[in-house]
Structure 1
Amino acid sequence: MGDGTARPPLTEPDLDRLLRPLFATAAPQGGLAVAVIRGGERAVACRGYADRAGERPVRADTRFELGSVTKTFTGLLLADMVARGEVRYDDPIDRYLPAGAVPGYPHERPITLLHLATHTSGLPRLPVGLAPAAVPRWFTRPYATFSAAHLLRALPRTPVRGTPGTRVRYSSLGAGLLGLVLERAAGQRYHELLAGRVCEPLGLIDTSCGTGRDEATGYRRGRWIPSFKTPALPGAAALRSTADDMLRYLQAHLAVDAVPIPERTGAAASLRTALREVSLPRVARRGFGQRICLSWQHRPDDGGEVVFHTGATGRCTAFVGFDRAAQTGLVALAGPLATGRRGFVQTAHETLRSLADRPAA
């Protein structure tokens, strides 16, 4: 239990009972993959189909779009680069951007890498200039034609609300800009940097920014939705992954020292340090009862502390959360939903509480 009391093994009927409300959130033509960690137990359960025709059952290796859960990977990449001494949390973003490509704000309090990772930069939720191209395809591919060049041209026209570091304002622009800054600091593209520093060391063999085999497809009002693309902001929402891979990702955050990271020079030590750093609360989110870590959200929860993030694209919805005190974690990756995103996320939170033997709030 959450207080350290030994729990009985999680039997298949127990798992089915616990996950039944979560599976009920999927639309009839949708599919859902769930990965669970409870103590030393691991399980993956799947329901439904990855395509509307019902020809491809969802499996543990079916790839789903992660949406904003990508931000947790970007936060981990930042922490790894800090542990290696390549960047610092308090580095101003000006240091890594081209001259003239900096948001307009009072330079006596510059935006730092930590501000980007904790949503305290004061940057708007989305880039200036995105809307004209995005609105006609808002529910399909709103970011597809907005390039990194567009982003750099838009930054000088981007307003900053308030003093950086003083208030949490969720910003996909800030998270995506962090990915761009890190790739410029390292001299590698974001997807290459993430693959070499995070995905390969953690054994995430099916996690990447690009499309691949056996992906879940999505539909809206009966029409097929194309795959999600965000060329300017991959660090905000570009990743795809599977229940199997996300189970490994959860395990890495719950039991850092037990993660079998290859002992390449400096790689294992820096990544383990980063895994500890990312879930440390950094700033309070006023009015929400939450704190922000490095992209992760942190919430006290009936004697425990839940760290979580959610994500959504036109095709998929994702939830990832863990309770380190209870050594419990949950990943839920879904296609079209019957309950809507809010109902799915609320049910995922309740399922995680049940797995951790904590009462519903």
Structure 2
Amino acid sequence: MERGPVNGLTHESAGGLAAGAAGAGVGAVVGSPAGPVVTVPATEPGPELDRLLRPLFRAAAPGGGAAVVVIRGDERIVACRGQSDRSSERPVRADTRFALGSVTKTFTGLLLAEMVARGEVRYDDPIDRYLPAHAVPGYPHERPITLLHLATHTSGLPRLPVGLLPAMAPRWFTSPYATFGPAHLLRALPRTPVRGTPGAQVRYSNLGCGLLGLLLANAAGQRYDDLLEARVCGPLGLVDTSCGPGREDAAGYRRGRRVPSFRLPALPGAAALRSTADDMLRYLQAHLALDAVPLPERTDAGALRTALGEVRRPRAGRRRGGTRICLGWNHRSVPAAPEPGRPAGGPDVEPAAALTEEVAERLAVELAAESAGDLVGDPVGGGTGGGADREGGDEVVYHAGATRGFTTFVGFSPRAQVGLAVMAGTLPLRSRGFVQNAYDILRTLVVERRAPVD
């Protein structure tokens, strides 16, 4: 597959991704998601879309650049702003790689669904089956932790591995997870507490999703990176998505200062991936329409198509609010009309403190959340329950992530055929507001698609 990158312009054709002329930093493509496309000259977004996206670019501007992907029906837009590296004044382009943080979990969930579709693993397989006997967490095994529990944050495992915070201390302000490898994780698991009965309650766990990636790699007899490339990234044409360094990585900035590259050797399946706007466009297209991305002519291509449909199906729900948990994704309904007594904007943000009982020290919570991949807690809570089958309603499926120097939001609505990916090379001082803003934009795009056309 050949790809020609341009600052902010990308379009798809039957032969892969190709690029047009570099303009003001925005490209739009119109065409059927499953068929040929027609290239539209690179232009700025229309006034309404520009108004929606402006706060995101403004929030990212103080520290680094940003790239935004928008899908609205047949329309494709990739908008890039700012610099990927301020020291070299390198502009952000459609092939600039950003750290995805906890959006990595959606890839791990897709990998699980693909291996289940092949019959290689089952959702209800106990984790003991893919761990050494000496590395099984200590808990009553009448109801074992399963692979599905790990993927839906219902395992009862804590947010972070036992012993991780002490290992972080020497590299607290540089690369805190770099020295905590798989061997450390296996030694920590027998000392890891399990809270409650597996499957009974949603408790967000980077450890659980990272452990899922390790177990899937053990089941396949491959490293996580290699397995993901063979089963997901390669077939979908995500040529710049990986855990390792790439050809043009953006620099991450925190409070205006450049931070070292993020490394997570023990739990790559939780938060270690990097990707580009081009690749996230393809990733979103594949989730919006199963035939949007031509897959290689292989006998196992059907397993990936099945998995793409499985990952967005709700599997568990929070006791508070209307957020439901899919395989690596969060799921919410978008009501047909605003709720009585509430504005039409995005849902309320849950207090962070209520979701971080495992870590007492506030600074440790902040740094762990930034480094491990996700914002503290669910970025968008509250609102109403119910699903997309509600009369007049739609579903939105989304996830957010943050490392020490990057913030990411990815979401889509299959019914509305809307997708949004936001990747910023900075951790905004009010990163929860940044993610909430991205969610509100996604929801606005969904509602606009629902509105009747004169």
TM-score range, shorter chain: over 0.9
Match of 2:53 among 11, 19, 26: 19
Match of 1:298 among 312, 316, 331: 331
Counterpart CA distance in 2 for 1:183 and 1:346 is: 34
Match of 1:104 among 108, 128, 138: 138
The alpha-carbon deviation at position 136 of structure 1 amounts to 4.3
Counterpart CA distance in 2 for 1:197 and 1:239 is: 15
Counterpart CA distance in 1 for 2:167 and 2:217 is: 25
Change (3 A) 1:338 1:172: closer
Report what 1:259 is aligned to: 293
Report what 1:49 is aligned to: 83
Question: Which amino acid in 2 is paired with 1:295?
Answer: G
Counterpart CA distance in 2 for 1:182 and 1:233 is: 12
Q: TM-score, normalised by structure 1?
A: 0.93
Question: Which amino acid in 1 is paired with 2:269?
Answer: G
**Residues 54-110 of structure 1, C-alpha deviation per residue, up to 9 Å, x if partnerless?**
611111110000010000000000000000000000000000100111001111100
Question: Which amino acid in 2 is paired with 1:71?
Answer: K
Q: Secondary structure in 2 aligned to 1:321?
A: strand
* Residue 316, structure 1, aligned to residue 349, structure 2: no
Counterpart CA distance in 1 for 2:218 and 2:184 is: 16
Counterpart CA distance in 2 for 1:339 and 1:284 is: 30
RMSD of equivalent CA atoms:
1.7
* Residue 269, structure 1, aligned to residue 302, structure 2: yes
* Residue 85, structure 1, aligned to residue 119, structure 2: yes
Higher relative contact order (CA 8 A, sep 6+): 1
Q: Secondary structure in 1 aligned to 2:134?
A: coil
Report what 1:6 is aligned to: none
**Residues 253-294 of structure 1, C-alpha deviation per residue, up to 9 Å, x if partnerless?**
00013331112121x100000000000000111113200000
CA contact (8 A) 1:25 1:343 kept: no
* Residue 149, structure 1, aligned to residue 239, structure 2: no
Report what 2:415 is aligned to: 325
Report what 1:5 is aligned to: none
For structure 2, the residue ranges without an aligned partner over 5 or more in a row are 1-39, 336-392, 450-454
Question: Which amino acid in 1 is paired with 2:418?
Answer: T
The alpha-carbon deviation at position 301 of structure 1 amounts to 1.7
Counterpart CA distance in 1 for 2:403 and 2:395 is: 27
CA contact (8 A) 1:139 1:314 kept: no
Counterpart CA distance in 2 for 1:221 and 1:280 is: 37
Report what 2:261 is aligned to: 227
Identity fraction in percent: 74
Counterpart CA distance in 2 for 1:208 and 1:288 is: 34
Match of 2:436 among 339, 346, 350: 346
CA contact (8 A) 1:337 1:344 kept: no
Match of 2:252 among 195, 212, 218: 218
Q: Secondary structure in 2 aligned to 1:300?
A: strand
Report what 1:239 is aligned to: 273
Question: Which amino acid in 2 is paired with 1:300?
Answer: S
CA contact (8 A) 2:83 2:91 kept: yes
Question: Which amino acid in 1 is paired with 2:297?
Answer: E
Q: Secondary structure in 2 aligned to 1:163?
A: coil
For structure 1, the residue ranges without an aligned partner over 5 or more in a row are 1-8
Counterpart CA distance in 2 for 1:229 and 1:338 is: 20
**Residues 200-223 of structure 1, C-alpha deviation per residue, up to 9 Å, x if partnerless?**
100001000101222111233454
* Residue 71, structure 1, aligned to residue 105, structure 2: yes
Q: Secondary structure in 1 aligned to 2:291?
A: helix
The alpha-carbon deviation at position 19 of structure 1 amounts to 1.3
Deviation larger for 153-162 or 208-217: 208-217
Counterpart CA distance in 1 for 2:65 and 2:430 is: 14
Counterpart CA distance in 2 for 1:183 and 1:285 is: 29
Q: Secondary structure in 2 aligned to 1:100?
A: helix
Question: Which amino acid in 2 is paired with 1:228?
Answer: F
Counterpart CA distance in 2 for 1:65 and 1:42 is: 22
Report what 2:317 is aligned to: 284
Report what 1:250 is aligned to: 284
Counterpart CA distance in 2 for 1:114 and 1:334 is: 31
Counterpart CA distance in 1 for 2:245 and 2:261 is: 8
**Residues 7-53 of structure 1, C-alpha deviation per residue, up to 9 Å, x if partnerless?**
xx996334322311221221323111000111011110011111123
Counterpart CA distance in 2 for 1:190 and 1:22 is: 32
Counterpart CA distance in 2 for 1:90 and 1:209 is: 28
* Residue 170, structure 1, aligned to residue 231, structure 2: no
CA contact (8 A) 1:306 1:321 kept: yes
Q: Secondary structure in 1 aligned to 2:138?
A: coil
